[in-house]
């Protein structure tokens, strides 16, 4: 129940402006921190590795001897040892997973639906074309789902 003790205080324009300014500064600092983190991580990943274990293997494969290459090889080694999560990560980033394609189709369907809704509101004639494309995308998705269930 509302009473004087649990109501939020009303902010003046200057207080709201100052809070917004402080929030903007904090947001900028956070973005710079994240950018510095990514830059440092990329620098470290591209650094040359001097490991007795990994360097000969990477050189034999004709791959750059970097920490990134060694990490990728370690993930593959884990996948070969039976680690399913490692295999799924490898498949996902190698583009061999069904999920990214499905995500792309879902995004396309969402985009077409939004276009169809917008065109229905504005009264443009392209609505039938957009809805037909949406129907074909949804049909393809349903067919794929049925195939996956059958397997």
**Taking 60 as the threshold, does the pLDDT of residue 113 lie above it?**
yes
- Looking at residues 10-39, what average pLDDT do you find? 91
* Position 100 confidence tier, pLDDT thresholds 50, 70, 90: low
Model confidence over 53-75: pLDDT tens digits?
888 888 898 989 999 999 999 99
Contacts of 131 (CB under 8 A, 6+ apart): 112, 116
**Residue for token pair 């207080």:** 15
Domain residues of the chain, as ranges?
46-96, 98-150
pTM for the model stands at 0.48
The Cα-based distances of 66 to 4, 52, 54, 97 in angstroms read 63, 13, 9, 26
């Amino acid at each position: 129940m509302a009473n004087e003790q649990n109501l939020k205080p009303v902010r003046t324009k200057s207080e709201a402006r100052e809070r917004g300014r402080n929030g903007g500064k904090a947001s900028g600092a956070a973005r710079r921190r994240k950018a510095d983190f990514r830059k440092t991580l990329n620098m470290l990943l591209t650094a040359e590795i001097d490991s007795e274990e990994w360097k000969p293997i990477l050189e034999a494969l004709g791959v750059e001897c970097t920490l990134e290459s060694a990490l990728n090889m370690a993930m593959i080694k884990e996948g070969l040892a039976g680690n399913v999560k490692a295999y799924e990560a490898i498949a996902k980033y190698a583009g061999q997973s069904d999920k990214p394609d499905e995500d792309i189709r879902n995004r396309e369907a969402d985009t077409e639906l939004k276009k169809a809704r917008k065109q229905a509101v504005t009264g443009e004639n392209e609505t039938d074309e957009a809805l037909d494309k949406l129907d074909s995308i949804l049909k393809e998705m349903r067919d794929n789902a049925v195939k996956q269930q059958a397997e």
